[in-house]
A and B are shown apart, each in its own frame.
Chain A
Amino acid sequence: MSEVIVVTSGKGGVGKTTTSASIAMGLARRGHKVVVIDFDVGLRNLDLIMGCERRVVYDFVNVINGECTLKQALIKDKRQDNLSILAASQTRDKDALTRDGVERVLGELRADFDYIVCDSPAGIEKGAFLAMYFADRAIVVVNPEVSSVRDSDRILGLLASKTRRAETGEGKVREHLLLTRYSPRRVADGDMLSLKDVEDILGIPVLGVIPESEEVLQSSNSGNPVILDAESPAGQAYDDAVARLLGEDRPLRFMEAERKGLLKRLFGG
């Protein structure tokens, strides 16, 4: 039984693509057959984060339009051969994705893959709508910041009403909160919403908390999902999130502010 997981947020720049790449890679590393799809038509990015941008020949829209087979468009990951990527099209045609087309492609993918990870574009327009429409589960990526939290609540509203599960009454889309760019230091200083604050406001179960960390940028620079960086806190936190997604019970890590050294303690900073 395969599952469709949408990675969504409403607001842009909160870490959807970083999350899609790491979650897909993490699920594949645990032996599942995984495909990750970029739904951001016109602004293809997932291929860069996955490091396969020079291998894109055909894309999602080509498959929908019947210009190539699904097999021709799927890019096999070089690090993990049970992971495939389906790139977004660079077309400027907003109507390139259709509900029937997406449904057909997802149906075909369900036959071959255990998990289909859909990387949603920002906003609440067609691309975002189609990315979530067929989802069984949703990872809502949130930054501890007012506009991101509010937009996420809008997305939760849409998940509860504008998805196939909502419309056919097959049960709710399972929602998961993933808090990214979290800084325990700033939370301790009272400058940043805490995990508990965001949980209280949004009221959905937590999948993970990804600490703000330098390695996320370094990983995207080199085209390696940050989960592959086993040394980095962000990579480890993503690995925990994948384990929880699969039903494992893991305590949250990296939630305490780093203890300051003597000099810093004396002189602040």
Chain B
Amino acid sequence: MGLLDLFRSKQKNTASLAKQRLQIIIAQGRAERGGPDYLPMLKRELLEVIRKYVHVDPDAVEVSLATEGDHEVLEMNVILPERQGAGDP
């Protein structure tokens, strides 16, 4: 480090930020890559149906496809909001 660097404010380590961001976005990309093309559409339509009855967050619906042995399992996870809004369309 140069003498003058002592008087400069230390720069942030942007490379580690880049690495973190990439790890997240690439993990997400890989998870989607494995699934069939209809999965995002299925998720969107399911969300619309659920929203007719319950107000849920877009993030509260999770649809995934897993392979177990020789069959595939379509798993859906919906996190319902606490009480209010539930039940009255």
Contact = CB atoms under 8 A, between A and B. Distances in A.
Q: Do A and B come from one complex?
A: yes
Interface of A: 145-146, 149-150, 153-154, 157, 161, 187, 189-194, 197, 200-201, 260, 264-269
Contacts of B5: 268
A149 B20 CA distance: 12
Contacts, number: 60
8 cross-chain pairs, A with B, having the tightest CB-CB distances, nearest first: A268-B2, A190-B13, A268-B4, A197-B19, A157-B33, A153-B26, A266-B3, A201-B22
A146 B2 contact: no
B83 interface: no
B15 A265 contact: no
A231 to B, nearest CB: 30
Interface in B1-28: 1-5, 8, 11-16, 18-19, 21-23, 25-26
Given A153-B29, A201-B23, A201-B26, A193 B2 contact: no
Given A150-B25, A153-B26, A154-B29, A190 B4 contact: no
A189 B23 CA distance: 21
A268 B16 CA distance: 23
A153 B2 contact: no
Contact of B19 (A153, A193, A260): A193
A267 B2 contact: yes
12 contacts: A146-B18, A146-B22, A150-B26, A153-B26, A153-B29, A157-B30, A190-B15, A191-B14, A193-B22, A201-B26, A266-B4, A268-B4
Contacts of A190: 11-16
Nearest to A196: B19
Nearest to B29: A153
Interface of B: 1-5, 8, 11-16, 18-19, 21-23, 25-26, 29-30, 33
Contacts of A268: 1-5, 8
Contacts of A192: 15
A153 B30 CA distance: 8
Given A201-B19, A267-B4, 18 more contacts: A146-B18, A146-B21, A146-B22, A149-B26, A150-B26, A157-B29, A161-B33, A190-B14, A193-B18, A193-B19, A193-B22, A194-B15, A197-B15, A201-B22, A260-B2, A266-B4, A267-B3, A268-B8
Contacts of B25: 150
A197 B21 CA distance: 12
B50 to A, nearest CB: 30
Given A146-B22, A150-B26, A201-B23, A265 B2 contact: yes
A129 to B, nearest CB: 16
A267 B30 CA distance: 46
Contacts of B11: 189-191
A201 B13 CA distance: 18
B11, B21, B26: which has the most chain A beta carbons within 10 Å? Answer: B26
